[in-house]
Structure 1
């Protein structure tokens, strides 16, 4: 079935822990990534909560970003936004990749202008857009027929030293 890889990894995780082995952050994160790729977001969030409760292997920015991206791929942008707030609560600062994943999800959901506003607030959020961030936003605006705004993004991109 579609869920073979993640199911196999979850079985391994449970079996290893029953036998007294401690799975590290890398192992947990790999399973979270597999669950997200399969769209199993509820299970991915449960596993992150398990990582937090066990204490010895808290999730990192990369793990959280995988879940943000997973939610966005399913069109669940509001859940992705909420997860970025949870990251802050647990002391992790979302990075450029985290925000770019969210902006991409927002653009795919037809919320390019909102994504643009979020990018404009980036300096307040301690992250900096990169060329991929600008491209995501430019294409989102173009898809929505907001060509003037897309051109503004290209100009800003070039002014910041990035090339489309």
Structure 2
């Protein structure tokens, strides 16, 4: 697009980044993100969600964590429910249940209401790691303290 002088905006870059991430080419997506900054195109939270999800899908959880922390530290975007959910999914994928629960608490503190998907992700991970009592406590919190109805798995 740049070679033929077609204007590049955050939407076209986001689409290109999503394509890269869905093809397990997140490094290319990150390179496109760098070109955003060079061209003064400001990416939005959806673009960052796509990159985080791409890193998680490629099992690059530490890199996803670093990017997430950098986004918050440098105030590049305000995390939303999708971003928190993506990070929780990644943390649970590698068995970092304590950090995932901490992120769940942070999410709730900041006014983002976790849904059944977020709770199910952590509960499943706790069960997988044979932490049944912890899973049961979290389930009870979800249903009785938060009033979130469980769905069928």
Give TM class, smaller chain.
0.7 to 0.9
Shift of 1:106: 0.4
Q: Which runs of 5+ in 1 are unaligned?
A: 133-164
- The separation in 2 between residues aligned to 1:37 and 1:73, in whole angstroms, is 10
Partner of 1:73: 93
Q: What's the TM-score, normalizing by structure 2? A: 0.75
Are 2:66 and 1:46 aligned?
yes
Q: What's the TM-score, normalizing by structure 1? A: 0.70
**Structure 2 counterparts to residues 43-122 of structure 1, below 5 A:** 43-55=63-75, 57-122=77-142
Are 2:34 and 1:14 aligned?
yes
C-alpha offsets along residues 110-156 of structure 1, whole Å, 9 cap, x if unaligned?
11232122111223134221112xxxxxxxxxxxxxxxxxxxxxxxx
CA RMSD in angstroms comes to: 2.0
Shift of 1:55: 4.3
Partner of 2:47: 27
Indicate if the aligned counterparts of 1:69 and 1:105 stay in contact, CA closer than 8 A: no
Equivalent residue pairs, number:
130
Q: Which runs of 5+ in 2 are unaligned?
A: 1-23
- The separation in 1 between residues aligned to 2:99 and 2:43, in whole angstroms, is 27
Shift of 1:57: 3.0
Are 2:136 and 1:128 aligned?
no
Q: 1:33 to 1:125 in 2, by over 3 A?
A: same
- The separation in 1 between residues aligned to 2:110 and 2:34, in whole angstroms, is 25
